[in-house]
Amino acid sequence: MPQLAAAKALWTSLGLPLHAFGEQSALRLSPNADRVINSSFKLGDAAQISIGLSAFSAAYYQKLNTGISQNVSVDARHAAIQFHSEVYYTLQGKPPPPVWDAIAGLYRTQDGHVRIHTNFPHHRRGILDILKIPDTPQVNRAIVQEHLLGWSAVDFETEAAARNIGKLIHKAKETPPVQLFKIGEAPTRKEAVDKILERSHALNGIRVLDLTRVIAGPVAGRTLAAHGADVLLITSRKLPALPALDADTSRGKRTAQLDLDDAADRQALANLASECDVFLQAYRPGSLEAKGFGPAQLAAARPGIVYASLSAWGSEGPWKGRRGFDSLVQTATGYNVDEGEAYASAHGNADFTPRPLPVQALDHAAGYLLAFGINAALAKTITEGGSWEVRVSLAGVGQWIRSLGRLAAPLPAAALPQDSEIQAVSESWHDDEGQPVMTAIKHSADMERTPVIQGGYAPVTLDASHPAWK
């Protein structure tokens, strides 16, 4: 099965033993995953493999602690729905508001196309300022399109990049989807066996500080929480929120807010970091060092820590400091052009229009692969000791998805799930008083001995708890 071969390749790339895929600890992936999403890329494979590895690595960590093996299975259709979880939840019985701003998306220029990301208010204002369009509710795609036709693609990209708000097409440096580095010495992790055996989930006892936003990083934290970790999401009240995404990606976590420009709040974060097992962040490379929270700094302060970093473009190269989102990385790495050409060819059209992927595949795959890398690093704290850094970039994940191959015509038909199918793979979540507040997509990994947590506490807001460990 090609999906399993791709999963094993990623597994061994992190120095994990191939014999973990034994008779008593198999990763089982349902067939025909490449046909479940309406794309010329094998996004169904990417969903099943990344989610499968996030769960199988949690099972491996639990096996190192207890000696108990288990099978892990992932259904392809369920995994594909999970890759779009942000559109399938309900909050207080109502569907989520639109995730995308009205003017976000692909546009023609004088000589090509650009894609703009305007979901955050300051990004929208920045784009409209470049185009000299007043930011009013009356602004629509037609107005933006008219103004963009006066720009060349490169000139617009250059101006937007100077303001940290836009990208075009860029050939990214080849980067593995997940990288693991030892960044310090520490004794091997050892815990009392009786305490470990009392735990019903693979990551019970693990503390995770989650300093991420939007989709990819928060999905990683949500996945760790689903395996039993205590995940504390820290955001800043100074930064704009995306409630339509935050409600879905904060499930199973506790949420609090700190201002890293405030000395007292920085000390509060340092205190939390001194007692955490995993520090998960998605700031631009190098940004947190100035605040005292870089990988080397935390490895020195808290030996044995796992420091996980998510970026758009990777930690090296001229674009390492640039901001980026799934939609922009798709465009910059040629996905939209390739998808548009594939659909034009499949339907016999001479002309094509760039076409976005039907799901935020780079974001979701990056999130699950980041959780996989974190679990792999936790496993190494048992087998080798030390402090570890995990690196995942959207560009690297995009390159990995390409490596899975393309589909020839006929391409998979669009097959949106029906209400009954969504209900069958959804679970209820409650507030801190036990009252139901939302339904959301279950985790698609099925674990034989340490089941994934399905349902439970959903904070909904970003300041529902105090910044303290349980």
Half-sphere exposure of 160 (CA within 13 A, CB side): 28
Identity at 113, one-letter amino acid code = H
What's the CA gap between 186 and 275, in Å, rounded?
15
Arithmetic mean of pLDDT, 92-113: 80
- Greater model confidence, 183 or 158: 183
Kindly report, residue by residue over 65-85, the tens digit of the pLDDT.
988 899 999 999 999 999 999
For 106-148, the DSSP string reads EEE-SSSEEEE--SSHHHHHHHHHHHT----TT--HHHHHHHH
Q: 24-38, 111-125, 223-237: which has the minimum mean pLDDT?
A: 111-125
135, 118, 137, 120: which is closest to 241 by C-alpha? 120
For 435-464, the DSSP string reads -EEEEEEPP-EEESSSPPP-SEE---STTS
The per-residue pLDDT for 71 is 95
pTM of the model: 0.87
Alpha helices in 315-393 (DSSP H): 326-332, 335-346, 361-383
Are 207 and 193 in contact by the 8 Å Cβ rule? The answer is no
Arithmetic mean of pLDDT, 108-127: 79
- Paired with 180 in beta bridges are 390
What's the CA gap between 233 and 256, in Å, rounded?
6
The per-residue pLDDT for 416 is 77
What's the CA gap between 428 and 339, in Å, rounded?
36
- Residue 99's pLDDT band, with cuts at 50, 70 and 90, is low
Place of tokens 């020195």: 300
What's the CA gap between 47 and 26, in Å, rounded?
18
Residue 299 host element (H or E)? helix 295-301
Q: Within a domain: residue 77?
A: yes
Q: Within a domain: residue 116?
A: no
- Greater model confidence, 248 or 137: 248
Task: List phi, psi (to 5°) of 270.
Answer: -60, -40
Burial class for 29, CB neighbours closer than 10 Å (0-12, 13-18, 19+): buried
What's the CA gap between 292 and 426, in Å, rounded?
41
65, 103, 99, 68: which is closest to 85 by C-alpha? 99
- Paired with 257 in beta bridges are 235
Half-sphere exposure of 124 (CA within 13 A, CB side): 17
Q: 111-115, 172-176, 418-422: which has the minimum mean pLDDT?
A: 172-176
Q: Within a domain: residue 332?
A: no
Are 217 and 210 in contact by the 8 Å Cβ rule? The answer is yes
Residue 393 host element (H or E)? strand 387-393
- Residue 160's pLDDT band, with cuts at 50, 70 and 90, is confident
Q: Within a domain: residue 283?
A: yes
- Residue 169's pLDDT band, with cuts at 50, 70 and 90, is very low
Q: Within a domain: residue 327?
A: no
Task: List phi, psi (to 5°) of 265.
Answer: -70, -35
What's the CA gap between 311 and 282, in Å, rounded?
6
Whether the per-residue pLDDT at 104 is higher than 90: the answer is no
The CATH number covering residue 85 comes to 3.40.50.10540
Kindly report, residue by residue over 230-282, the tens digit of the pLDDT.
999 999 988 888 888 899 999 999 999 999 999 999 999 999 999 999 999 99
Q: 21-35, 164-178, 332-346: which has the minimum mean pLDDT?
A: 164-178
% of the chain with per-residue pLDDT over 70: 92
% of the chain with per-residue pLDDT over 90: 62
Are 16 and 60 in contact by the 8 Å Cβ rule? The answer is yes
- The tokens describing 446, both together, are 């099925």
Selection from 28-42, 126-140, 363-377 with the highest mean pLDDT: 363-377
> 91 is in which domain, residue-wise?
2-95+173-316+360-457
Selection from 238-242, 323-327, 442-446 with the highest mean pLDDT: 442-446
What's the CA gap between 54 and 57, in Å, rounded?
6
Arithmetic mean of pLDDT, 455-463: 94
What's the CA gap between 365 and 368, in Å, rounded?
5
> For the chain, how many structural domains are there in total?
1
Place of tokens 């339904």: 439
The per-residue pLDDT for 326 is 82
The per-residue pLDDT for 2 is 87
What's the CA gap between 236 and 39, in Å, rounded?
36
- The tokens describing 200, both together, are 């019903």
Arithmetic mean of pLDDT, 13-35: 89
How high does pLDDT run on average in the chain?
A: 90
The per-residue pLDDT for 52 is 98
Arithmetic mean of pLDDT, 172-201: 82
- C-alpha angle 401-407-411 in degrees, rounded to nearest 5: 125
Selection from 208-222, 282-296, 327-341, 397-411 with the highest mean pLDDT: 208-222
- Residue 354's pLDDT band, with cuts at 50, 70 and 90, is confident
Q: Within a domain: residue 407?
A: yes
Residue 391: CB partners within 8 Å, gap ≥ 6? 178, 179, 180, 181, 308, 309, 311, 314, 315, 373
Q: Within a domain: residue 76?
A: yes
Are 364 and 324 in contact by the 8 Å Cβ rule? The answer is no
Whether the per-residue pLDDT at 170 is higher than 60: the answer is no
The per-residue pLDDT for 196 is 66
Q: Within a domain: residue 323?
A: no
Count of other CB atoms within 10 angstroms of residue 404? 18
Arithmetic mean of pLDDT, 89-99: 82
Are 381 and 388 in contact by the 8 Å Cβ rule? The answer is yes
